[in-house]
Structure 1
């Protein structure tokens, strides 16, 4: 009798009729129904051995994240909240419940669907044929559309094809480095755009993989940073006194040594690099890009990662080997300030971490020895002691954090972005 009652209850529960967009929980959908309609998962579910909820930042259907106030309970609302405000700059409509706001590390720029990923927009000029160092060629390169490598989050290329296709575009930018830096009609924006497109696709592709993709990721990261560096050199020629732009999860800046400091904006915080104690004998430039550590699964960071690429020369001369940066660029101080009123900062816990420019794995992250912080908690800023270590000739990444935490604390997204295996927990 008890078994019969349970069977009836189960049948009633499993046959609940959902009638509103985004209402059906992903876990209740079979392979044939997962993402079959707006009611059954389109925009918020995906298939990974079973029908699962997309990471909150990837969700396009805001109804799936809403609950309460007379609304139908969204199918993803146990994990995600809808954002309070939307922007036409990005596609995000939901966020993790634990965050309560948009995390800049996971902004998704809107993808365009025109053109080709392996040809110029004329449909006949192949990507690999774009080798002439002139304006006409770089304008054709600008029309190659990397978004088309991965137009959908639910229909992915193989890892080999993803690396090959995105890598080919980035390689062609490196091939045309001379023209991209020197042609008077080469605008830095097109290089910056290629960097944020590539970072976004790489981040999202890795998050949706069930097996570690460290080699593929590291290969592409190195090429992405190579294009970022070409962009920085172009900025020096384009607007030499100062240039700075922000794209949520990747920011760029160049400034002459003579300015003594630069401040980089992050999400509810800033990082100021001060080299006023550096007694340089030749003029040069500090070239910087920065990014939220969590785009590579690094947790608990207070500041963005700031990549310092100082170089002597006015203007500095680009070297494809990327190993001619100023090793005399010291001493430095770093000032980190914040506006987030929910933060509780303990000066004694703050540490400065560094890692090489060609990696983002936590196994390569080291604490900068001997550096401490003095804080004015009322004014919400902390200043490092003097950083006197000799920087690598390839540049260095710095960020401020109270500690990296443990792998087991990572969620699924963070876990995969750090190249770990997710099976309900991170290992």
Structure 2
């Protein structure tokens, strides 16, 4: 009888232990379910674009938000024009209260071409600002090699041949870091003589130049001793393109966000190029020989200048034999606003080799002076005449010093450098 009592007690103990284990198992499952539900609720309640940059403590989680950058130690808000996540800029986004960046509501066509989704509050609503346009990074292709697998290092050792040119254009510049970009610049320079007589049209070379300028504009890593030589290489590639146009001999205009080119026969007596919020018209009355006027316009925001009202315009005149010619001409700048209200206004020259400007003179303002405003047409005009020589000109206010520039995206190398929270001088 005692034996059975002991056995029965053991069974009770086993049953109790089993029940305890089952309870513990259910409790653990319950805890896991609570954690899962909490996580799901957190995901549901955490919308795209509503997390602060400072809440991210690693480079990857910071950059993955699409509107932040890692400064080496903390996660900071990215420059408005570089932001990829539009939700952060919309009314419910983290960058809209207070307003740090505005959302750009553009046609789908523009979103297919350009990567911009936000802009600075100081800009007009829904304006795709010309000198801060970004092209979409391509999904295919490589930064370090062409589509046939030839690396940048090998490209710079190959003997140039016409059959290779089409492969050069498959190197994806918009994917490159600055070392890779510098190698690519060398490749284009190495192929300069062949590019002059390439039977394909100039579009691929034009587009590549635009990508090169964009990459140099957006870089924040290079010191001037490296960046300025790279900009010099881009000028060489642009000069090569201008020579191609002279060989082709057609009237032609190519306009891109950061630069534009126009070639016009001297017999036309005028040429025009449009920039952001202005039109530049070049006119001349006489010339010695038949030939071409070539106008190169480029934006100098990309080189750290703030205060310019126009692009820089470089005028080069050639006869039919490609020899440089002299020409006396005038420039009429037209603005769709009252430019006289922001006086004083100055005429500047710009040296693209040194990246330095020189103030020529203050422009006179009045109904019959150099700059005037038509209140009926709501347009301003500045007439600069006469001009002689292949000089590069632009109009601007008193240009801001680096120390007075308040925002990182305006503080551009090689003229200025953003250090922590302020803009400092960084002369080329």
TM-score of the superposed pair, with normalisation by structure 2: 0.77
- How much has 1:231 moved relative to structure 2? 1.6
8 Å Cα contact 2:312-2:350 kept in structure 1: no
8 Å Cα contact 1:64-1:76 kept in structure 2: no
8 Å Cα contact 2:264-2:292 kept in structure 1: yes
Specify every segment of 5 or more residues in structure 2 that has no aligned partner in the other structure, as ranges: 1-41, 365-369
- Residue in 1 aligned with 2:271? 262
- Residue in 2 aligned with 1:46? 69
8 Å Cα contact 2:301-2:410 kept in structure 1: yes
Structure with the higher helix share, 1 or 2: 2
Q: Which of 115, 118, 123 is the aligned partner of 2:141?
A: 115
Q: Which of 184, 201, 205 is the aligned partner of 1:187?
A: 201
8 Å Cα contact 1:275-1:332 kept in structure 2: yes
3-state SS, counterpart of residue 345 of structure 1: helix
Regions of 4+ moved over 6 Å: none
Deviations 1:387-423 (A, max 9, x none): 44544xxxx3211112213333312122233333434
3-state SS, counterpart of residue 262 of structure 1: strand
- Residue in 2 aligned with 1:149? 176
Distance in 2, Cα, partners of 1:94 & 1:173: 33
3-state SS, counterpart of residue 205 of structure 2: helix
Distance in 2, Cα, partners of 1:407 & 1:350: 19
Distance in 2, Cα, partners of 1:190 & 1:257: 27
Counting only pairs closer than 5 Å after superposition, residues 1-400 of structure 1 correspond to structure 2 as 19-31=46-58, 34-35=61-62, 42-48=65-71, 49-67=73-91, 71=92, 73-74=94-95, 78-86=99-107, 87=110, 88-100=112-124, 101-124=127-150, 126-134=154-162, 136-150=163-177, 162=178, 164-183=179-198, 185-206=199-220, 209=221, 213-238=223-248, 240-276=249-285, 279-308=286-315, 310-316=316-322, 325-326=324-325, 328-329=326-327, 331-339=328-336, 341=337, 343-346=338-341, 349-360=344-355, 364-369=356-361, 372=364, 373-378=370-375, 379=377, 380-388=379-387, 390-391=389-390, 396-400=391-395
Aligned length: 365
- RMSD of the alignment, in Å? 2.7
Specify every segment of 5 or more residues in structure 1 that has no aligned partner in the other structure, as ranges: 1-15, 151-161, 318-324
- How much has 1:63 moved relative to structure 2? 0.4
Rg (Cα) greater in structure: 2
- How much has 1:108 moved relative to structure 2? 0.5
- How much has 1:222 moved relative to structure 2? 1.0
- How much has 1:56 moved relative to structure 2? 0.5
